[in-house]
Amino acid sequence: MNYQFKLLKKDAGSEARLGKILTPRGEVNTPVFMPTGTQATVKALVPERVRELGAEIILSNTYHLYLRPGHKIIRDLGGLHKFMNWNRPILTDSGGFQVYSLGALRKITDEGVMFQSHIDGSKHFISPEIAIEIQETLGSDIMMCFDECTPYPVDFDYTEKSMDLTIRWARRCKNAKRNNNQGLFGIVQGGVYPELRKRGVEEITGIGFDGYALGGLSVGEPKEVRQEIVEGITPLLPEDKPRYLMGVGTPQDIVECVGYGIDMFDCVMPTRNARNGMLFTNSGKVVIKNARYRNDNSPLDSLCDCYTCKNYSRGYLRHLFMAKEILGIILNTIHNVRHYMNLMERIREAIRNDNYEAFKKTLNSKL
Amino acid sequence: MNYQFKLLKKDAGSEARLGKILTPRGEVNTPVFMPTGTQATVKALVPERVRELGAEIILSNTYHLYLRPGHKIIRDLGGLHKFMNWNRPILTDSGGFQVYSLGALRKITDEGVMFQSHIDGSKHFISPEIAIEIQETLGSDIMMCFDECTPYPVDFDYTEKSMDLTIRWARRCKNAKRNNNQGLFGIVQGGVYPELRKRGVEEITGIGFDGYALGGLSVGEPKEVRQEIVEGITPLLPEDKPRYLMGVGTPQDIVECVGYGIDMFDCVMPTRNARNGMLFTNSGKVVIKNARYRNDNSPLDSLCDCYTCKNYSRGYLRHLFMAKEILGIILNTIHNVRHYMNLMERIREAIRNDNYEAFKKTLNSKL
């Protein structure tokens, strides 16, 4: 088995953990944030830049790649890593979340999901077995089980039925797996109901996976509700496997949830916000189109070590944004991704030094 | 005087010339192609990449920068070079061509041009003196005289009147110039009328500038008409100054016009076509969205040494284009700009070896 997780240490005063995921394509230091490369590209960045910013693993998307260009085309072009010129680990989301996002365009049965493409309306069917086959064809390093992601709010009964479906599908995913070079993560659903989540943990860990994800969060529920679930459920997951909180979140969310024992995160926020001119800095958010930055000669974030902050003024970034220049998106993305990567480096450092709670307090007081 | 041109040699069998422009910000080897950085960015590229692709000078635009963000803001932010993080030479177009493009939105008098902004409709006035003031404020290395660019077709009488205006404006531009670190080029107008062009050359060279441009071409006239003008007029320009053919053109146009004695070119074609998925290669044009490239594992151009061709397949470039990914624009732009830069390197090599005509024939037979 080529996929491994090493728990290096736990923080003295919190549930925060320092670890390492070992894959044939390289190590991943946890807690980790995975930049999103939905369509086989982290938007607006060449992969060498993504690496240089500190990324050790990226996320890509089964649903999107299955529809366009098609996983078989990617296979013909040498697999996902060669296709996109990224030779480090890739985690592929299974498509459950994307299919759920389609709303009326999909129909769920025990067998799988029938859905219509968001691109051309064509009809498709994905089952747990097909989701694994696609991910094995893509050749990602960590695959995700195919699940049903429940929305918020949704009642207990539906959530329970849905979670049971996700559990049955998880078993089928594990049985369908052929390739031992790829890790496979189970996903715990159960909405905002702690008793369902607890049973989810038992059943999914009972099947046994290389890592465990909390899914169905960050779908509209209040932040406090999410945090309560994460705080209560994460410690129930096996210590010797990585724990992945899907689709979360803001820097504050990440800092909070690392403290509950989460090891892995992904979110479109740094890249998407960059394209919208919303920038994360060590002194809070900057909306770059604001007229006050017009002739602001200071860097975006004087505490940041990124290419953008070292070479450009806020005034220039504002100009690029107003003039709708692609370079603006590039420079903003570089900064936001670096901000997240730097945050993760500091998080790991704090855990290493056994002062995660103090770090968290200092950080929150600045934001 | 900090601005200099050195004619290094002439080709044995054509009018093609090898030269060097010396500026305080570095040398420019001619014949040169200047990538377009209209709004203080070569679209989709960080400036280090532009340099790495072989660019020694870029073009930026007085009209655009005057309107947005405003030349005084650029001055406050350290001047155009610092603003955009490009420390090598910049040539600024004067705005004549852009104002001409505004059509009904502008009114030309002897004093200057009253026009409405294409961004917000606000009213502005630019005279020759103001055009120089803006360019000196921006701090470009080569400034262009403010001219009237006549469209095609236009009759002899209008063309003559317009050319005389451009000549009067050229004199005023020279008188308005204050800064000796910046070169100033005169522009020869005269439409498609050789007798007007000839008088234009006499009058503009009589005033005396650091270089001479042929303007008002590439505005819709047949290619043969343009080539006849360039072939006939270029040799009349002083040998000891650089000759710049504004807004031209395709690789074939450039190869042709270097043979007539032109030293400098600019055009939006490599960058704009890249964004539209139209790519220049050593075996002709590639329209990357074409379905035949879907699972094409070969590089865009096997003879090209650019980052894109070394790391990605046509299949991936097609995927990025179809998925409207910014990385597609970036990779396409890298390739097209490198294609032009490589062409210029080969052009200079051929002149150095006194076999420009043979080079031209070989190249044309391949395209």
What ipTM, to 2 d.p.?
0.98
Relative to beta strand B113-116, strand A90-93 is unpaired
Q: Percentage of chain A with pLDDT > 90?
A: 93
Task: Please state, in angstroms and rounded to a whole number, the distance separating the CA atoms of residues A41 and A80.
Answer: 10
Of A87, A98, A97, A107, the residue nearest A23 (C-alpha): A87
Task: Please state, in angstroms and rounded to a whole number, the distance separating the CA atoms of residues B169 and B156.
Answer: 20
Mutation for A interface: B75, B288, B325, B331, most A CBs within 10 A: B325
| CB of A281 closer than 8 Å to CB of A300 | yes
Grouping H, G, I as helix, E, B as strand and the rest as coil, residue A342 is helix
* pLDDT reported for residue B95: 86
Task: Please state, in angstroms and rounded to a whole number, the distance separating the CA atoms of residues B253 and B1.
Answer: 33
Chain A residues inside the 8 Å CB shell of B295: 73, 76-77
Contact A330 B46 (CB under 8 A): yes
Task: Please state, in angstroms and rounded to a whole number, the distance separating the CA atoms of residues A225 and A206.
Answer: 26
Can you give A261-289 as a three-state secondary structure string? CCCEEECCHHHHHHHCCEEEECCEEEECC
Q: Please, what is the end-to-end C-alpha distance for chain B in angstroms?
A: 43
Closest B-chain CA to A80: B316
Task: Please state, in angstroms and rounded to a whole number, the distance separating the CA atoms of residues B184 and B23.
Answer: 12
B301 is known as an active-site residue: no
Residue linked to tokens 């405003």: B70
| CB of A99 closer than 8 Å to CB of A146 | no
Q: Please, what is the end-to-end C-alpha distance for chain A in angstroms?
A: 43
Task: Please state, in angstroms and rounded to a whole number, the distance separating the CA atoms of residues A193 and A198.
Answer: 9
Task: Please state, in angstroms and rounded to a whole number, the distance separating the CA atoms of residues B29 and B316.
Answer: 35
Amino acid identity of residue A335, one-letter, is: H
| CB of A319 closer than 8 Å to CB of B40 | yes
How far is residue A347 CA from its own chain's centroid? Answer: 17
| CB of A41 closer than 8 Å to CB of A333 | no
CA-CA-CA-CA torsion sign (A47, A76, A184, A181)? negative
Q: Report DSSP letters for A104-149, one per residue.
A: GGEEE-SS-EEEE-TTT--EEEE-HHHHHHHHHHHT-SEEE-----
Q: In terms of C-beta density within 10 A (0-12 exposed, 13-18 middle, 19 or more buried), how is residue B84 classed? A: buried
Question: Which token pair is A6?
Answer: 């090493």
| CB of A34 closer than 8 Å to CB of A55 | yes
Grouping H, G, I as helix, E, B as strand and the rest as coil, residue B118 is coil
CA-CA-CA-CA torsion sign (A345, A350, A352, A357)? negative
Digits of tens for pLDDT over chain B (367 positions)?
A: 578 999 999 999 999 999 999 999 999 999 999 999 999 999 999 999 999 999 999 999 999 999 999 999 999 999 999 999 999 999 999 988 888 888 888 999 999 999 999 999 999 999 999 999 999 999 999 999 999 999 899 999 999 999 999 999 999 999 999 988 999 999 999 999 999 999 999 999 999 999 999 999 999 999 999 999 999 999 999 999 999 999 999 999 999 999 999 999 999 999 999 999 999 999 999 999 999 999 999 999 999 999 999 999 999 999 999 999 999 999 999 999 999 999 999 999 999 999 999 999 998 887 6
Q: In terms of C-beta density within 10 A (0-12 exposed, 13-18 middle, 19 or more buried), how is residue A18 classed? A: buried
Closest A-chain CA to B333: A326
Q: Catalytic residue among B210, B253, B263, B266, which?
A: B266
CA-CA-CA-CA torsion sign (A155, A157, A158, A163)? positive
CA-CA-CA-CA torsion sign (A228, A231, A236, A240)? positive
Closest B-chain CA to A42: B327
A2 to chain B, closest Cα gap in Å:
27
Q: What DSSP state is assigned to residue A234?
A: G
Closest B-chain CA to A71: B295
Please give the C-alpha separations between residue B76 and each of A170, A298, A315, B72, in angstroms, as whole numbers.
60, 12, 10, 6
Q: What number of C-beta contacts closer than 8 Å exist between A and B?
A: 107
Of A204, A237, A319, A36, the residue nearest B73 (C-alpha): A319
Q: What angle do CA A277, A281, A282 make, to 5 degrees?
A: 170
B147 is known as an active-site residue: no
Residue linked to tokens 């969060």: A217
Q: Catalytic residue among B11, B93, B141, B210, which?
A: B93
- φ, ψ at B99 (rounded to 5°): -65, -40
CA-CA-CA-CA torsion sign (A60, A64, A69, A70)? positive
Question: Which token pair is A121?
Answer: 């309306």
Cβ neighbours of A109 (radius 10 Å): 10
Digits of tens for pLDDT over chain A (367 positions)?
A: 578 999 999 999 999 999 999 999 999 999 999 999 999 999 999 999 999 999 999 999 999 999 999 999 999 999 999 999 999 999 999 988 888 888 888 999 999 999 999 999 999 999 999 999 999 999 999 999 999 999 899 999 999 999 999 999 999 999 999 988 999 999 999 999 999 999 999 999 999 999 999 999 999 999 999 999 999 999 999 999 999 999 999 999 999 999 999 999 999 999 999 999 999 999 999 999 999 999 999 999 999 999 999 999 999 999 999 999 999 999 999 999 999 999 999 999 999 999 999 999 998 887 6
Task: Please state, in angstroms and rounded to a whole number, the distance separating the CA atoms of residues A39 and A64.
Answer: 6
Cβ-based interface (< 8 Å): residues of B facing A = 39-41, 43-46, 68-69, 73, 76-78, 83-85, 294-295, 297, 307, 311-313, 315-316, 318-320, 322-323, 325-327, 329-331
Residue linked to tokens 């650019």: B306
Of B25, B57, B29, the residue nearest B258 (C-alpha): B29
Angle at which helices A128-138 and A156-176 cross, to 10°: 50
Contact B325 A39 (CB under 8 A): yes
Q: Can you point out the beta strands (E) in chain B?
A: 4-10, 17-23, 26-30, 32-34, 58-61, 90-93, 106-108, 113-116, 123-126, 142-144, 183-188, 211-214, 243-245, 264-266, 278-281, 284-287
- φ, ψ at B106 (rounded to 5°): -140, 155
Contact A68 B319 (CB under 8 A): yes
Residue linked to tokens 């790649």: A65
